[in-house]
Chains A and B, each alone.
Chain A
Amino acid sequence: MTYIPHSPQERDEMLAAIGVKSLEDLFKDIPARHRFPKLDLPPALTEMEAAAELGELSTGNENVRTDLVSFLGAGAYNHYIPAAVDHILRRGEFYTAYTPYQPEISQGTLQAIFEYQSLICALTGMEVSNASHYDGATAVAEAANMAYAQFRGKRKRVVISPTVHPQYRETMRTYIQGMGLELAGDDPKANRSTERSRRSLDAGPEALEGLVDENTALVIVQYPDFFGRVYDFTRIIELAHGKGALVCVAANPTALALFKTPGEMGADIVVGEGQPLGIPLSFGGPYLGFFTTRKQYIHKMAGRLVGETVDNRGQRAFVLTLTAREQHIKRERAISNICSNQGLMALAAAVYLSLLGQTGLRQVAELCYHKAHYTAEKISKVKGYSLCFEAPFFHEFSVCCPRPVAEINETLLEHGFLGGYDLGQDYSSLKDHMLIAVTEMNTKDEIDGLVDVLAEVNHD
């Protein structure tokens, strides 16, 4: 897409139209002394100097490609990304994050989004996918928005499992401020160190059953949950539907290649973090939120949606569709203020999924599963360590440690390992509990190395 800047003549016409003489006049409401403050900046660098300085700065970052062996997950996972993903992403035709309005000049981008949507539907077992959100947390929060609109604000309760990612729950609390929604199942002020709250973490989705009532708009669970555990949600979904509520499952897309899909369980909304699908860890972003639902709720869905149609010559074509739902038309009556999508990351996911295919993705999931189970088995035999939960898990599991997790991680780092997530940060009843993630990237030697250091830490 060619960028056409405005000419000086057009600029003058626009200024004349609003009755302003010069561009500077637009800023005269800003006091003169604040308009161009003296910035205390170092002298300008040459390109050579800048490259050297940035190179030097970047050596301060330790990355999982060349510096560290990672066993850290907790929502973002270190997977292999085929070289073709980046190659396709960097093509100029795709290199914008913006969703195109004009189908006449954007068929390639629109088709890429359409393919992404189709792949995500196949993966989740759902009927409709939007063009994506910023990240998993946003997608979860948008599910609450959607359920709120579905019941036109008449149902005031959202039940969210305490085993949903802590940051997703935090985003949810930020999102629903002022909407008059009540979050049940996740009270940030509750004393989580009590035995009762520990029991609610030990329990599966049945712990939520008593919270779902006729006032509940949405029930949110995670699959696998934050501790890596896999539950069949069919029963809680049936129970919620019996009360008229919707159910949202926040899923790990890699796990969906191996396990029953939330769609098969009867979920109304399936969302998740798409980062595992060909997007690098990148110190936290940009990531990708995927969002799917059933056709009957499509008018309540946030975000862009690409549809397939035929043009005036009968040829297959793609367009943004059902846009009247969105904020640029519906203004303050729109369900969500999100109109854009995460185009480039959605493309990465589409390319990754296409390259791996159904079999390839399943192989990745199986490798993760078996390596994680090998790791868990070995760690559980190390003196002082034990697995916290008995439920089946995918590629992540919680370990009770003999020492504070921060201390253990320091030692691990000295040996070149990025240790697991310290669950005590979010759950005071899980002090000294480490969440360990294992993917296809971890070799047997690395796993054995991790186990050796863990054993050493306990002997110190």
Chain B
Amino acid sequence: MNIPTNLKFTKTDEWFDPATGAMGLSDYAQGQLSDIVFVEIVVGVGETVASGKAIASVESVKAAAETYASANGKVVAVNEDLSGNPEVLNKDPYGQGWMVKVEGADASGLMDAAAYTKYCEERAH
């Protein structure tokens, strides 16, 4: 499982990049969902998102899930390419699979890679 050390994570399996303000779905989450066939970003540029509020709706061949904002902030960019290529969420969740970018976000309170790795391992048992 890929858990980059530069990112922060939520208990609901979203990641946040403090350097760029980007957020998305973790590698663990995409693996659990299996083949993702649909994604819809439900927030727009200029809107404020709050930690725990939905930023995207994701459907795979066997499940549907909401992706929540990993931190509070104002949306400055939305990944418009995702809706046409939902499979990048499976292939590259931390790269092309970014969902929105926010500014003014506070990453304190999120797990670091080590804590998130432990959290994922605990759930595997």
Interface residues of A (CB under 8 A from B): 152, 299, 322, 324-325, 329-330, 333
Contact = CB atoms under 8 A, between A and B. Distances in A.
B60 A324 contact: yes
B103 interface: no
B64 A333 contact: yes
Given A324-B59, A325-B59, A333-B57, A299 B40 contact: yes
Contacts, number: 24
Interface string B36-61: 01101010000000000000010111
Given A322-B38, A324-B63, A333-B64, 18 more contacts: A152-B42, A299-B38, A299-B40, A299-B59, A322-B37, A322-B59, A324-B38, A324-B59, A324-B60, A324-B61, A324-B62, A324-B64, A325-B59, A325-B64, A329-B64, A330-B64, A333-B57, A333-B66
Interface band, chain B:
10 to 19
Main SS of the interface on chain A? helix
B90 to A, nearest CB: 15
A152 B40 CA distance: 11
Interface in B56-76: 57, 59-64, 66
17 contacts: A152-B42, A299-B38, A322-B37, A322-B59, A324-B37, A324-B38, A324-B60, A324-B62, A324-B63, A324-B64, A325-B38, A325-B64, A329-B63, A329-B64, A330-B64, A333-B57, A333-B64
A329 B60 CA distance: 11
Nearest to A326: B64
Contacts of B40: 299
Contacts of A324: 37-38, 59-64
A273 to B, nearest CB: 30
Contacts of B62: 324
A189 B50 CA distance: 42
A152 B62 CA distance: 23
A299 B40 CA distance: 9
Contacts of A333: 57, 64, 66
A238 to B, nearest CB: 25
Q: Which of B37, B40, B59 has the most CB of A within 10 A?
A: B59
